Each structure stands twice: as structure tokens, then as C-alpha cells.
Structure 1
Amino acid sequence: MGLSVITAETFTPLTLSVLDLVPCLPGSTDEEALRQAAALAQHAERWGYERYWTAEHHDMPGLACSSPEVLLAHVGAKTERIRLGSGAVLLPHYSPLKVAEWFRLLAALYPGRVDLGLGRAPGGDPHAVMALSGNFLGRVAELPKTMASLMELLQNNYKYEGHGVTARPEPQIEPVVWMLGTNVKSAQYAAKFGTGYVFGRFMSERDGVDVLESYRAGFTPSPLQNDPRTILAVSVVCAAAETEAAHWAETLDETAKQTGRSLFQSITGTPRSVYEQLKEMQREYGNDEFLIVCPIPDYTARLECYRLLAEVLKEREGQNE
């Protein structure tokens, strides 16, 4: 089980997971970024986080996360318990058969630990997207069909031109499917196909409460999942001292101004402050879990952010036993 805490006020568990964009920080190398990714997963497992998910981006300077399925295979070999997932595989780029094969193979290697997170975004600039899969907009339009085929493959009832096709290997425990997004459209896909839903609050200008409500209201049970499940993906800048947290927040703001990249909603403060903000958000959103991305541009400080969050949760849990 992941880190959970039950308060006397709500008796609602607070579960945390890691979302890693695999940043290659200034002065570092892509090789070091990948070593840091594995180290983060190992530490997160030791500290009690539920999942380690990694993103998919293409030809984006400073990010070494183009192939989550490959990185997850590496991370799985270096960990024992933590769940492994994609945040997300950008489904319009790929055939549903290939995606099912990737994640069924991972599920066979790491039984009961694999999540298949799916997204609709391009994941790169127009030239990189065209080089990867051609007409992206056309592929997005076909997404309902692609999703249906993927779900059929994960249930061993897919046919191509009337002939059965099986995504092999066939694991004893299938990967758990999630849809990631920042709008009602992605929530509708998750509801229609009976998957879990992750709202990317850290990369959205809207708060998303209505998006989660629309998902729950429209959820249709599937053979892979009976009930709606929700995760809120948030950005957290946490440090032992308020001044240090403020320093990193200011650094990120300045970097955003220089690069022209927007930084949306981030939770900043000391461990106790961040904890209280997360609890308040959980009361507002009714989400089952938080997926934490820490954008601090320093590998040591980033690890410390995750450690401090784990520490304060264990402390609060002890107070309520």
C-alpha cells in the first residue's frame, strides 16, 4: 500500500505517487537524468509512494523521457514493489496492438505493478510530431476507434478483418488503464471506456473540479474496472524552510519568463503547509490520490522535496492512530 493518512476530520486517506518528467538539468547529461530517474523511483519506493510514473515527450530540450515503456522496464528491474506507469503514452502516435504488447510485456515482467496511462496530446512541436507519426490531427480524430481496439486487445477479444489477434505475452494480471487529460473530452473518454482518470492540474489553467465530476457522472463500468477512480496530478515545491521553498518558486518563475514556458498552479511551502493544502484540495476534488511532479531544478533538492512529503505524512498518520 502507498503512503496514507487518515485525519480525525475526514477519515480520508491521502495517497501520493510520483510523476517524473526526467529533467536533464543545466550542466548535466541525459545519462545522468536517467540515472536520477531510477534513483528517484528507488527512493520513492523506500519512502512509501504508491506509483512511479514517467512522461512521454519528443524533441523537447531538457527532458529525457521519449520512451516511457523502455524506462519503466529499467526502473522495474531496480525496484520491487512500487507501481510502474506511463504518464502518459500518447496513444494517437501508435497502433493499439503495439501499445498492448509493450504494457502486457511489462505486466508479465512485473506482475501486479503496471499502469497504462494514456494521453491525447502531441508531446512535442509540430515537426517532431510529424516525424513521429504523420497526420496527428487525423489520428486524434480516430482515437475512439483506437481506444476501443486497445481495450479489446487487453481483454483478448480483438479481431482484424475478422481474424483474432492477441497481444502477447498474456500476463496473469493485466495493466491498469488510466486516461490522462486537462479537459472534459479526456474525462469523457475515460468514462466511456471504463478506465481511471487523471486530471493534470499542474498543466491546466482551470481547476478541473467540473472535469472530475463529469467523469464520475458518466462512468461506465468495464471488464477491467468496476468503479471510477481519480488522481489529481499537481506540481509541488516543498522545502524544510519557507524561505527555501520561496527561493525555488522564484527560480521557477524566472526560468518560465526566460523560456516562455508557462507555469500553472503549483503548491509551495514547508511539508506541513503542503500537506494541509493537499488535504484541502482532496476535500474539494474528492480524488483518490495525488500524482506529484516536483519541478525543482536541482536533483538533491528534488529528492528532498519527496522525502519531506513522505516524512510529514508518516508523522500525521502516527498522530491519528
Structure 2
Amino acid sequence: MRRVAKRMSETFNLGVLDLVPRLNDATAEQALQQSVTLAQHAEAWGYARYWTSEHHDMAELASASPEVLLSHIGARTTTIQLGSGAVLLPHYSPLKVAESFRLLAALYPGRIELGLGRAPGGGPHATMALSGNYLQHVSKLPESIAALTELLEDRYTYEDHPVTARPIPQLPLSLWMLGTNVKSAEFAARFGMGYVFGQFMSDADGTEAVRRYREGFIPSATMKKPEVMVAISVLCAESEADALDWSREMAERRKAEGKERSTERSTSSIEVSRTNDAASADPNEEARHYAGTAEKVWDRLQQVSRKLDTDRLLLVTAGPDYERRLDSYRLLADYKTAIGK
């Protein structure tokens, strides 16, 4: 397993983005245990990172606090990078975010990646219950990012008095911005952060956002050159027919669930992965979700890698059940090993 992990990380940097879905009426406890299982297997199969999301009052997802789940998973893994995809900064004090993730970085040295998002992460009532006037908070996001950056670089002051986010880890954590448009890319460039393009929830292919990010990048104390990741929805199976059938099943299930919820949908930074519903009239659906054999999915990933000039991909696999979700990640890792790249 260690040889496989080394080979993968040296050539193509694959990671897991786990939305912590409650599949097939699983309890929250079961969904969270499945996330631990996924992270442990991903580490053994050579995946470079495990990231998890933040959502609020969404019945189908079980993770509202990435830092809590990452602490739990960190204690049950040994080497895999751990990250948030994403902490929704408009809701929180920059000092509290810096303290929480510096604590994680001290617990798991060299393994912590702090990904930020700027969307509400839930419906309007949950958003207001969490932090009040969200639009007012998001309008102040540049100031919040600046404060967080200063805190992570130990140069923050409040009323001209130094304030330090403690504990101070020996190895600093990396800072990333997640998004689907040019605005998020510009924030990442301006503050010297890495940029994660959420292809699986965007109609765009990312080329313009990534271009603007690279052209506008200003080096920071923690990141000297632009770094790009892409989050992509995939589902691998032994046969292409199975992968397409399961993707259609997942899409139909989410459509039915959507009718039961309020017609006002969440605009989360990391939404439930959209799938390749063959019956869908949306011409962009196939670009958001790659379904098929490991070979076919691998070819699509290679295309994205070349187009956006990055070898760092975060893979989102939502189901259709936990066993087949795990198999999807395994099949791709096995294929990667078999072709020896």
C-alpha cells in the first residue's frame, strides 16, 4: 500500500471531497462512520487528501462543522492531508477560525489545509439563525480574509494591540479559497491563497477563473506561487452501464427529495454532487459529472488536468450507496496503479 501511495502522489495528486451524505436513510452516526472508513481507505489507496464540507440544516448531509470531523478523522489516519471544503468564513470570526485550524495543525503537523467559502451553506432561515444578516457579512469578506491571513502570519492587531491565534503550530497550515466563478478566484489571487475550482457545481469549465487567478496572484507568506485544485464529481463502476444507471438513480432520488423540501434551494459553497442523468435536458450535466469505467473516468480527469494545468483533483462521489461509493474510489486508485503513472 505504501508503494502505491508514493507512486500516486508523485504523478497525479488525487484527493477526496466528502459531503458526508446520509445515503439510503442512514443515520447521522452511520454517515459519519462511513466518512471515517472512506478516509482510512483513501489513505491506504494513495489518495493525497481528504476534505469535508460545511452545510447547515440540510437533512441529507451530516457535516455542519468540518473542524470537528477533521479532528476525529485525523486521530484515525496517519498521513493523509486533511482539509475543509469549505469553512464558510462570512459566518465566523476570523480569530476563531484561525484558532480552530491552528489547533488542528498542532494536533496533526503538516497535514492541515484550510479551505474557505463565501456562500451561506444552507437555506435562508438556517443562515439567519447562524449569523444574522448574511449579505452584510459577505460584503465584508475581504476584510475577514485579510484578518484571517494576518492571524495566520502572526501580524494581526486589534486597536493597535497584537492578538495572536494560539496555539502556534510548528508547521503552518495552507490556505485555500473554493468557488465557481471569477470573484472567488480574484479573492484567492489577491490574498495569496490556493484556488479550488468547483467544477462539479458549475456550468463553466474553469478556464477563465483559473486564468484570472494565476494572472492576478500575489505571493503571500504561506504561498509563493499560484496553486490550483479542481473538484469533480465522478462515479466509477466495473461497467459503464452500471455507472450510468447508478448516476441516473442518484439524480432521480435527489429530484424526488427536492420536491419534498422547500422550493428555495441552498446556494452552498459545496452542493450535493450533480449526476449524469441521461434523461436530463441540461446539456452541461455531463461536464459536471463523469460516470463510467475507471479507464473512461481517468481519461476525463486527464483532460481536466491538461486544460487547467493542474495535477491536483478533488473527487466527489455521492453514492448510490456506501459500498459502491467506496468501490468507485478504489477502482480509480487501482487503475492509476495499473497504468503506472
- TM-score category of the 2 structures, normalised to the smaller one: over 0.9
Look up the match of 1:81.
79
Residue of structure 2 equivalent to 1:4 = 8
User: How has the CA–CA distance of structure 1 residues 258 and 279 changed in structure 2, closer, same or farther, with 3 Å as cutoff?
Assistant: same
Following TM superposition, by how much is the alpha carbon of 1:96 offset from its aligned partner in structure 2, in angstroms? Answer: 0.3
Map Cα deviations across residues 296-318 of structure 1 (whole Å, 9 max, x no partner).
Answer: 2200000000000100011111x
Q: 1:241: how far off?
A: 1.2
- For 1:199, the equivalent position in structure 2 comes to 197
Deviation at residue 155 of structure 1 after TM alignment: 0.7
Does the Cα contact within 8 Å between 1:100 and 1:153 map onto a contact in 2? Answer: yes
**Deviation (angstroms), 1:93:** 0.3
Percent sequence identity is: 55
- The amino acid across from 1:35 in the alignment is Q
Hey, what does 1:302 align to over in structure 2? 325
Give the counterpart of 2:183 among 165, 182, 185: 185
Q: Which runs of no fewer than 5 residues in structure 1 stay unpaired?
A: 7-12
1: CA distance, partners of 2:255 / 2:22: 19
* Residue number in structure 1 paired with 2:42: 44
- Per the alignment, residue 135 of structure 2 pairs with 137
**3-state secondary structure, aligned to 1:117:** strand
Hey, what's the Cα distance between the residues in 2 that align with 1:109 and 1:89?
A: 19
- 1:108 paired with 2:106, answer yes
Matched, 1:267 2:271: no
Q: What do the CA deviations read for 1:37-83 (whole angstroms, capped 9, x no partner)?
A: 11100000000000000000000011001000000000000000000
Equivalent in the alignment of 1:277: 300
AA aligned to 2:242 is: E
The aligned amino acid for 1:118 is L
Aligned to 2:33: 35
**1:59 aligned to 57, 74, 81, which one?**
57
- What is the CA-CA distance between 1:115 and the residue it aligns to? 0.2
| Aligned equivalent of 1:9 | none
Q: Which amino acid aligns with 1:107?
A: A
Structure 1 residue matching 2:8: 3-state secondary structure = coil
Residue in 2 that maps onto 1:126: 124
Letter in 1 for 2:189: A
Equivalent in 89, 92, 115 of residue 91 of structure 1 = 89
SS of 2:24's equivalent? Answer: coil
* Cα shift at 1:26: 2.2
Q: What's the secondary structure of 1:249's corresponding residue?
A: helix
How far, CA to CA, are the matches of 1:138 and 1:112 in structure 2? 35
Amino acid in the other structure paired with 1:4: M
TM-score, with length taken from structure 1: 0.94
Query: Offset at 1:259?
Result: 3.2
Task: Give the corresponding residue for 1:312.
Answer: 335
Letter in 2 for 1:101: E
Residue 227 of structure 1 aligns to a residue whose secondary structure is coil
Residue among 11, 17, 20 paired with 1:19? 17
Alpha-carbon shift at residue 281 of structure 1 (Å): 1.4
Moved more, 271-280 or 106-115: 271-280
Residue 309 of structure 2: aligned partner = 286
User: What are the superposed Cα offsets for residues 241-269 of structure 1, whole Å, 9 maximum, x if unpaired?
Assistant: 11211111111221243234782410111
CA deviations on 1:134-166 (whole Å, 9 max, x unpaired) are 010000000000000000000111000111100
* Cα deviation, residue 2, structure 1: 6.2
Q: TM-score, normalised by structure 2?
A: 0.89
Gaps of 5+ in 2: 259-264, 266-272, 275-284
The answer (yes or no) to whether the contact 1:116–1:177 under 8 Å persists in 2 is yes
Q: Would the aligned equivalents of 2:247 and 2:320 in 1 still touch at CA under 8 Å?
A: no
- Equivalent-residue separation in structure 2 for 1:235 and 1:196 (angstroms): 20
C-alpha distance in 2 between matches for 1:253 and 1:188: 32
1:295 Cα shift?
1.5
1:237 and 2:260 correspond? no
CA contact (8 A) 2:9 2:46 kept: no
CA contact (8 A) 2:9 2:47 kept: no
CA shift digits 1:189-229 (9 cap, x unpaired): 00000010000000111111111111001000001100000
Q: In 1, distance between residues paired with 2:7 and 2:228?
A: 16
Tell me the residue number matched to 1:209.
207
Determine helix, strand or coil for the equivalent of 1:197: strand
